[in-house]
Amino acid sequence: ATSARQGVATSPKEVEINGKKYATDPWFNVSSTVLSLTSRKLHLQKDHPVAITRKIIESVFPPPTYKYYNEFDPVVSTYENFDSLCFPPDHPGRARSDTYYINKDTLLRTHTSAHEAELFRAGASGGYLISADVYRRDEVDRSHYPVFHQMEGARVWDRNKVPNGDLAAAIFQDLDRLPKHNMTVEDPNPPFHPDRNPLQVEHHTPEEAAAVAAHLKRSLELMVNEIFSRAKAAAAFATAANNGTSPVEPTEPLRVRWVEAYFPFTSPSWELEVFYQGDWLEVLGCGVSKQELHIIAGVPSQIGWAFGIGLERIAMLLFQIPDIRLFWSRDERFLSQFRGVEDNLARMRPFVPFSKHPACYKDVSFWLKGTSAAGGGGSGKGAVDWHGNDLMEVVRDAAGDCVEDVRLVDEFVHPKTGRRSMCYRINYRSLERTLTNAETNEMHDRVVRGLVERLGVEIR
């Protein structure tokens, strides 16, 4: 019953992921669709836009200072993904409605930060970049997919290994060696926030924290400048091609801004936003690493920064890719457009969408199993434990990438029975072909059956 409520069709005793077998338990909630994507590794596929994006970012963090790790397995322990990063026991990210568990102690990583502790423990000096597939149970729309790719970056300094023991001076010296840029940077934040983002007083002086923050911010500004300059240049090619003129390199400097953020494993923390095509876009999260991580890793004399960035989000901007499902396409009309770009970034051009195929909306309305707490069922015992993400999973399993988005359009509680009704609108549209009516009806029937069988709803 538990697995049915979690939106999993069959609960196997064990699953095999990238050649390794794992025993499941009642926490298991990974759909077969998601399991089948664990072997794709788009970030390592030559000339894939995710891989090209990774390469561009790597170019801003060169070896030997930075080492690259691109082959970490997506299966990690709950400890690595959450506890090792100081996530409190009741953090919402741990919920089975948000995270894919193989069993109580094993999951598909939700972020590349899951590998921070082990790299610190391995005595990483200098810095590193990790690129990997990450997994989150989420809604269905053009910018959300249950699997996406992140890149994690970190830089550490060892206070026992800097000249004269002057850590802040050593970090500022490294900052001076970084290139400059001409971006407009807004940074209205005070250096620390007493509650959310305090100075780690027991471990860092204000000068040390300021030095780490300055090095972090300049490094990431340089990265964003590299990416967005390339995006603008590619867009200029497209405009010129349309007008039959030769491309003019954009001269207007980029605008970015730092926004205070919160992560359990950094303090202070920020997000970096970029002004692009009329909007502020969040591109990454980052901060001064919590000293607990270095202490637990057995390297208490280290201090440093870390960031995490979503590769699809960046690739969508770089190549003007309109729908996140396209990244998983094996269609030559998609893949061929990026061929040869990884080894010659000057060949970067915006993606030219193939013809847009018609959409077909279908609604599904149903009563939830049980009643709302108000409507009898005895002291709220029959209360409905409904997670929209369970429905999203059923839809993905039934219709795969033929669903563009799913939205809740209506919801109410029956005043007498206390039963809760929901109506979702599913937009069927393939990126690759026109769906026939029969095909769409068949998929929708599968969705409806899945909702009844796996989530126990009653169709209205």
Binding stretches for ligand FA5 (CB under 6 A) = 111, 113, 136, 138, 144, 148, 150, 152, 263, 266, 282-287, 306-310, 312-313
When the beta carbons of 96 and 444 are compared against ligand FA5, the nearer one is 96
When the beta carbons of 308 and 418 are compared against ligand FA5, the nearer one is 308
When the beta carbons of 271 and 366 are compared against ligand FA5, the nearer one is 271
Q: How far is CA 74 from CA 36, 52, 70, 82, 135, in A?
A: 13, 21, 11, 14, 8
Residue 207 burial (CB count, 10 A): 14
When the beta carbons of 230 and 420 are compared against ligand FA5, the nearer one is 230
Report CA 246 to chain centroid distance, whole Å. 37
Report the C-alpha gap between 38 and 58 in whole angstroms: 23
When the beta carbons of 87 and 366 are compared against ligand FA5, the nearer one is 87
When the beta carbons of 111 and 454 are compared against ligand FA5, the nearer one is 111
The residue written with tokens 């538990």 in the block is 2
Dihedral angle of Cα 436, 442, 443, 447, to the nearest 10 degrees: 150
The answer to whether residues 73 and 52 touch, using CB atoms and an 8 Å cutoff, is no
Kindly state the smallest distance separating residue 66's Cβ from ligand FA5, in Å. Answer: 15
Kindly state the smallest distance separating residue 248's Cβ from ligand FA5, in Å. Answer: 30
Beta strand 20-23 with 106-108: parallel, antiparallel or unpaired?
A: unpaired
CA atoms within 13 A on the CB side of 39: 9
Shortest-Cβ-distance residue relative to ligand FA5: 310
Kindly state the smallest distance separating residue 259's Cβ from ligand FA5, in Å. Answer: 11
Kindly state the smallest distance separating residue 206's Cβ from ligand FA5, in Å. Answer: 20
Element (H, E) at 114: none
Kindly state the smallest distance separating residue 93's Cβ from ligand FA5, in Å. Answer: 8
Kindly state the smallest distance separating residue 385's Cβ from ligand FA5, in Å. Answer: 23
Those residues whose C-beta lies under 8 Å from the C-beta of residue 135, and which sit 6 or more positions away, are 34, 74, 99, 100, 108, 109, 110, 146, 147
Kindly state the smallest distance separating residue 395's Cβ from ligand FA5, in Å. Answer: 16
When the beta carbons of 24 and 110 are compared against ligand FA5, the nearer one is 110
Report the C-alpha gap between 318 and 352 in whole angstroms: 13
Q: Look up residue 110 and give its DSSP letter.
A: S
Helix 167-177 vs helix 206-243: crossing angle, to nearest 10: 20
When the beta carbons of 285 and 418 are compared against ligand FA5, the nearer one is 285
Name the β-bridge partners of 363: 425
Beta strand 75-77 with 106-108: parallel, antiparallel or unpaired?
A: antiparallel
For 159, left (φ over 0), alpha (ψ -120 to 50), or beta? alpha
Kindly state the smallest distance separating residue 266's Cβ from ligand FA5, in Å. Answer: 5
Q: How far is CA 237 from CA 49, 54, 342, in A?
A: 18, 22, 18
Report the C-alpha gap between 16 and 23 in whole angstroms: 9
Kindly state the smallest distance separating residue 415's Cβ from ligand FA5, in Å. Answer: 37
When the beta carbons of 135 and 366 are compared against ligand FA5, the nearer one is 135
Kindly state the smallest distance separating residue 138's Cβ from ligand FA5, in Å. Answer: 5
When the beta carbons of 142 and 357 are compared against ligand FA5, the nearer one is 142
When the beta carbons of 143 and 421 are compared against ligand FA5, the nearer one is 143
Kindly state the smallest distance separating residue 75's Cβ from ligand FA5, in Å. Answer: 17
Three-state SS string over 311-351 comes to HHHHHHHHHCCCCHHHHHCCCHHHHHHHCCCCCCHHHCCCC
The residue written with tokens 């919920």 in the block is 95
Kindly state the smallest distance separating residue 155's Cβ from ligand FA5, in Å. Answer: 11
Q: Look up residue 92 and give its DSSP letter.
A: G
When the beta carbons of 168 and 284 are compared against ligand FA5, the nearer one is 284
